[in-house]
Amino acid sequence: MAELTINRLATSIAVFVVYYLFRDNKRNNAFRIIVFVLAFVSLSFEIFYRETLAVILLPFYMCMLAFLLILFGNKIKLVIFPLLILNLLVWFQLHESFNFGVDESDSNEILSIHKGFYSFATIIGILFILHLTRAMYYNLLKPPQNHNGHNFIYGQTDEETNQIIGKLTIREREIYLMKLKGKTNKEIANILKVDLSTVKTHINNIHKKFETADKIK
């Protein structure tokens, strides 16, 4: 039982390391797709835990892990490679194609550990859903860009703009988004049901935050 707990804890740490290493990676789109697929397979395996289904799903899951090995560098390989080996071991046990010399109790423990991994993999899928939602929100706030990837208003890059947006208050973000859509100050005041002077104050604060960041740069 202690070994089972240790293995599940180790696997949990591994998947969170994956999230930490690549939460801001430039290849986020491809990585998110892979994680969503893995999360779907994981959730299916967790809900419908049957040996027959596992034999079908595990090869597909191993292909995804192998793709991660090819796509990313050495750091991720140190995390993914042991998981791929574990997948192979469990699949062979389920398929009964090879005899690894383990008794029934050991085999059941391997299956339990593997099922525990799927639970944690589902958690990491949820984390990426939250991360993607946050990225989409900031994308809505992102101003138009020129061909160099800098926004027309202040000259910051995507990353710099997102950092500044993160420092805006909720009200400032609302006004900033409406200004990007071409709303006038009076229209914004009517929508938010506030005084025109209040809108102008918020806009001045937004300008100051962007201009300060530009001076620091």
Using the predicted structure, report yes or no on whether residue 96 has a pLDDT greater than 60. Answer: no
Lowest pLDDT segment from 57-71, 94-108, 153-167, 199-213: 94-108
| DSSP β-bridge partners for residue 151 | 145
Looking at residue 97, its pLDDT comes to 43
Q: What's the pLDDT tens digit per position in 139-182? A: 555 544 444 444 444 444 455 556 667 677 878 888 888 887 78
Domain assignments of the chain as residue spans, ordered by start:
2-141, 158-216
Q: What's the pLDDT tens digit per position in 27-83? A: 455 555 555 555 555 555 554 555 555 555 556 566 655 665 555 555 555 555 666
CA proximity to 110, closest of 11, 7, 2 = 7
What are the Cα distances from residue 111, in Å, to 65, 81, 100, 191, 201? Answer: 18, 18, 14, 57, 61
pLDDT exceeding 90 applies to what percent of the chain? Answer: 1
| DSSP β-bridge partners for residue 145 | 151
pLDDT greater at residue 115 or residue 188: 188
CA proximity to 192, closest of 165, 168, 208, 172 = 172
The topology (CATH level 3) of 158-216 is Arc Repressor Mutant, subunit A (1.10.10)
For residues 172 and 61, give the distance between their C-alpha atoms in angstroms, rounded to a whole number.
Answer: 44
> What's the mean pLDDT when you consider all of the chain?
60
For residues 110 and 91, give the distance between their C-alpha atoms in angstroms, rounded to a whole number.
Answer: 10
